[in-house]
Chain A
Amino acid sequence: MTDVNQPPLLSIEHINKSFPGVCALNDVSLTFHSGEVHALLGENGAGKSTLIKVLTGIYAKDSGDITLDGRTVQIKNSLDAQSNGIRTVYQEINLIPTMTVAENLTLLDQPRRLGMISWRSAESRAKEMLARVGLDIDPNSLLVSHSIAVQQMVAIARALGSKARLLILDEPTASLDSEEIARLFSLMRQLKAQGMAIIFVTHFLDQVYAISDTISVLRNGSHVGTFETAALPQTELVGHMLGKDLDMLQHEQGDQVEAEEKPVVLSLSQVGKTGMLKPVDLDLKQGEIVGLAGLLGSGRTELCELAYGAVRPDQGAKSWLGNLLQINTPKQAIEQGMAYCPEDRKHRGIVAELSVRENLILALQSSRGWWSRIPMAEQQAIVSEFIERLSIKTPDMEKPIGELSGGNQQKVILARWLVTNPKLLILDEPTRGIDVGAHHDILKIIRELCDEGMSLLVASSEVEEIVAFAHRVVVLRDREKVSEIVGNQISQKSIIQAIAQ
């Protein structure tokens, strides 16, 4: 535990930062100690990113002081931050995928011999850097050939460099599975033991409790408070973040028996694809929420893709409302009344250049065909209805969607499908990388849709989330369906046991 009497490594006092029309940081004071994992929490827009950018010199603060080791420092650019030992690893990995691991690690400081890059010493230096984070991979392998988790570790290895003292990890676990997270945490503990101060930004509260010593909460640009992790119950923490109480884990299961008798909407019989997913049987009933649980790479996304027809299965058959049908392309799936929100929102969901309106209307327009354009007045009516219904935060509907926050983008994509009035909605990680408030909204929407008779297939890596809404849980492991948990049997424990068996 941190020695409170020890002087802090870094302290910030009365930091203010505003952008035109927004006060992003309002008189924020925080202290960070060596050998401490300090979790920085808050909803999107709370000011976490701004604070990090001030610390790393990307933004200039309007006022306030930054003190390092008792002396005031000016951090005007990322070079200043680097030379003061402040290193950052961002959620989106800032490495070059087409270069080798060694090239990525030594990119900024290449060992030279007679003015030429010495690849041999670059390689040995890369090996040292990898050893520090406990990675045993070939430095000459291409970065893309490794999993996201390993790439993240490489990013940390590069950030640590030679004289790092404060490491900022900005949502480092967003794309890691639990084993990889455990690996990252053991690395964090090791660095902590060496006296590193770590600022940990995340949306996952269980991880905060697993690793952090101290929690600071920001809300709307203000510092709500700093707490000792062990002394802060989770409900209280969420209350601080939202400014209200939240019972996310409530499980309503009243319509259990009813769902059993409802007709089957989509039935998969032995649907699979070689090298992607072993054949799976699955029935989705009307008004039922089926959760897909499993570790990263267990085949959750693959099952969604095959069910929707985003990828053509090479075996098995699908029937829709009792009729054997060919549903092998998105177009065919949409014709029958299916909808699919993919996991990778940025690359497979939004069209960043197009406006909120265009993104929201896209699936409906596509199902009507290019010739019968939806009249502008009708488009605007639909869009404003859904902006209100899903409480999407956007100044106006003509704003490019790329400029919205992740949670609002996700709501637009959800709305894109809801306007088509689907019978079956497939959601892959609907709450990934979005803030607690939007998270809550989306879970609420999922439940409402189900009550209206829509069937949902929801893949999620957050077990407690699945427990909260699913009527039935399908557990996948190693690209194979391993078990199905129904009704009262559903609990975090039973799912985790099925995953871990």
Chain B
Amino acid sequence: MRLKRIMRLEARTLAPIVSLFLLIVGTALVVPGFLKLTIVDGHIYGSLIDILHRSTPTALVALGMAVVIGTKGIDLSVGAIIAICGAVTAVLTTTTELHPLIVLGCALLAGMACGLWNGTLVAVFGIQPIVATLILMVAGRGIAQMITGGQIVTFHSDFFNAMGNGFFMGLPSRVVLAAVVIAITVLMLRKTALGMFLEAVGGNSEASRLVGIDSRLLILMVYVFSGFCAALAGVIIAADIRGADANNAGLWLELDAILAVVIAGASLSGGRIYLGLTIVGALIIQTLTTAILTSGLPAQYNLIVKASIILLVLLLQSKVTQDFVRTRVLSFRRSSDA
């Protein structure tokens, strides 16, 4: 049964995984020591770990984005939410004596409140998701600047330092944290019926309503979840640089997140949620960036190479390409049989 299911994995599903694998192998050929892992003081170091470390914020934001896109929505405001939550973390740490866990809680609540705002606009007022979240995308950085007073607020906290750059059981603690959040999300979506309901709402909201699914509540929750993911990413980014930069924290991260979801093979018209492949997508994006930087390619080629390789991945996934390859392979086999 299981074997059968694996056999049936379509090229569409395999494409991101194969791409990531090829990317890592390709980089390893160009950059010596790319695959090398060393253990210092019980902590694992190496380029691969570095990729995991750096891709954490993107992966978290992409996780929320995958769920939102599955319901036929989109969340453009995640970058701004990252800025807001980073600002909340920094300001509360520098100006109050609150326990870091409470600060973390406040930052996460701020992100979820932002998500609630988006969700209300979409689910209650029926505003198109791209427009509804555009509002916070624009306003959010303003809010973050208000919180920080227009300054880059730096702070010191052992707790946040451990969260941003520390280690847990040999691995970067933020990677472990993100892995836990991802695992819980997968369990929530696949071990309950939540995933199917979300996909049903994304695929056909009217049909879902008629079978008694409360699509309004679900859509509201999805944006709150995306806000939560962005908030966690925001805290991690702030903890990493030990400061909050309202203008640049998480800038353009929403686009990377959307890209990760698309690389996973999800359609922007909703109906399917691929959590695992979305994380693979986020890893592909980060691996590319790291590979380009470590390969010694001049920095100015970075964006173009990145875009080209992502285009290649997307072409590999396209049905047109796959049909073309399939017919070619078939006719090749036929001619070699003959």
B197 touches A366 (CB 8 A): yes
Which of B266-293 touch A at CB < 8 Å?
A: 267, 270-272
Output the least CB separation between B158 and chain A (Å): 39
B214 interface contact, C-beta 8 A: yes
In-complex Cβ contact of A373 among B192, B206, B267, B271 (8 A): B192
In-complex Cβ contact of B196 among A331, A349, A354, A416 (8 A): A354
B199 touches A334 (CB 8 A): no
Complex formed: what's the CA distance from A158 to B177 in Å? 61
Complex formed: what's the CA distance from A333 to B209 in Å? 12
B212 touches A370 (CB 8 A): no
Complex formed: what's the CA distance from A353 to B202 in Å? 9
B212 touches A351 (CB 8 A): no
B residues near A374, Cβ cutoff 8 Å: 193
Instruction: Name the residue of chain A whose CB is nearest to the CB of B271.
Output: A353
Output the least CB separation between A331 and chain B (Å): 4
Complex formed: what's the CA distance from A334 to B211 in Å? 8
Once A353-B272, A358-B196 are accepted as A-B contacts, the answer to whether A348 and B206 lie under 8 Å apart by CB is yes
Output the least CB separation between B16 and chain A (Å): 19
B166 interface contact, C-beta 8 A: no
Which one of B208, B209, B212 has the highest number of Cβ atoms from chain A below 10 Å of its Cβ? B212
A328 interface contact, C-beta 8 A: no
Once A348-B210, A366-B213, A367-B212 are accepted as A-B contacts, the answer to whether A373 and B193 lie under 8 Å apart by CB is yes
B191 interface contact, C-beta 8 A: yes
A390 interface contact, C-beta 8 A: no
Complex formed: what's the CA distance from A358 to B199 in Å? 10
Interface size in chain A (residues, C-beta < 8 A): 32
Output the least CB separation between B100 and chain A (Å): 33
B residues near A354, Cβ cutoff 8 Å: 196, 199-200, 203, 271
A331 touches B203 (CB 8 A): no
B residues near A348, Cβ cutoff 8 Å: 204, 206-207, 210
Output the least CB separation between A329 and chain B (Å): 8
In-complex Cβ contact of A363 among B194, B203, B211 (8 A): B211
A residues near B200, Cβ cutoff 8 Å: 351, 354, 358, 362
Output the least CB separation between B107 and chain A (Å): 28
Instruction: Name the residue of chain B whose CB is nearest to the CB of A344.
Output: B206
Instruction: Name the residue of chain B whose CB is nearest to the CB of A352.
Output: B203
Instruction: Name the residue of chain A whose CB is nearest to the CB of B201.
Output: A351
A366 touches B203 (CB 8 A): no
Complex formed: what's the CA distance from A351 to B213 in Å? 13
B212 touches A334 (CB 8 A): yes
B residues near A310, Cβ cutoff 8 Å: 209-210
Output the least CB separation between B312 and chain A (Å): 26
B residues near A368, Cβ cutoff 8 Å: 193
Output the least CB separation between B272 and chain A (Å): 6
Complex formed: what's the CA distance from A347 to B214 in Å? 17
Interface size in chain B (residues, C-beta < 8 A): 25
Instruction: Name the residue of chain A whose CB is nearest to the CB of B5.
Output: A398
Instruction: Name the residue of chain B whose CB is nearest to the CB of A363.
Output: B211
Instruction: Name the residue of chain A whose CB is nearest to the CB of B188.
Output: A370
Output the least CB separation between A328 and chain B (Å): 13
B residues near A8, Cβ cutoff 8 Å: none
In-complex Cβ contact of A352 among B191, B204, B206, B210 (8 A): B204
Complex formed: what's the CA distance from A282 to B208 in Å? 27
A residues near B8, Cβ cutoff 8 Å: 398
B206 touches A347 (CB 8 A): yes
Instruction: Name the residue of chain A whose CB is nearest to the CB of B196.
Output: A358
Which one of B196, B197, B200, B206 has the highest number of Cβ atoms from chain A below 10 Å of its Cβ? B196
Which one of B194, B203, B271 has the highest number of Cβ atoms from chain A below 10 Å of its Cβ? B203
Complex formed: what's the CA distance from A386 to B246 in Å? 57
B residues near A367, Cβ cutoff 8 Å: 212
B residues near A369, Cβ cutoff 8 Å: 193
Output the least CB separation between A307 and chain B (Å): 13
A351 touches B208 (CB 8 A): yes
A residues near B196, Cβ cutoff 8 Å: 354, 358, 362, 365
A351 touches B203 (CB 8 A): yes
Which one of B193, B194, B208, B210 has the highest number of Cβ atoms from chain A below 10 Å of its Cβ? B210
A351 touches B271 (CB 8 A): yes
Which of B204-236 touch A at CB < 8 Å?
A: 204, 206-214
A370 touches B194 (CB 8 A): yes
Complex formed: what's the CA distance from A129 to B202 in Å? 41
Which of B235-277 touch A at CB < 8 Å?
A: 267, 270-272
Output the least CB separation between A428 and chain B (Å): 11
Complex formed: what's the CA distance from A193 to B213 in Å? 54
A293 interface contact, C-beta 8 A: no
Using a CB–CB cutoff of 8 Å, the interface residues on chain B facing chain A are: 8, 191-194, 196-197, 199-200, 202-204, 206-214, 267, 270-272
With A350-B204, A351-B200 known, 16 other A-B pairs at CB within 8 A are A310-B210, A347-B206, A348-B206, A350-B207, A353-B202, A353-B203, A353-B267, A353-B270, A353-B272, A354-B271, A358-B199, A366-B193, A366-B197, A366-B211, A374-B193, A398-B8
- The 7 A-B residue pairs with the shortest CB-CB distance in the complex, in nearest-first order: A353-B271, A351-B203, A331-B212, A363-B211, A353-B203, A351-B204, A334-B212
Q: List 23 A-B contacts (CB under 8 A).
A: A330-B211, A334-B211, A347-B204, A347-B206, A349-B207, A350-B204, A351-B204, A351-B207, A351-B208, A353-B202, A353-B267, A353-B270, A353-B271, A354-B199, A354-B203, A362-B211, A365-B193, A366-B213, A369-B193, A370-B197, A371-B193, A372-B193, A416-B211
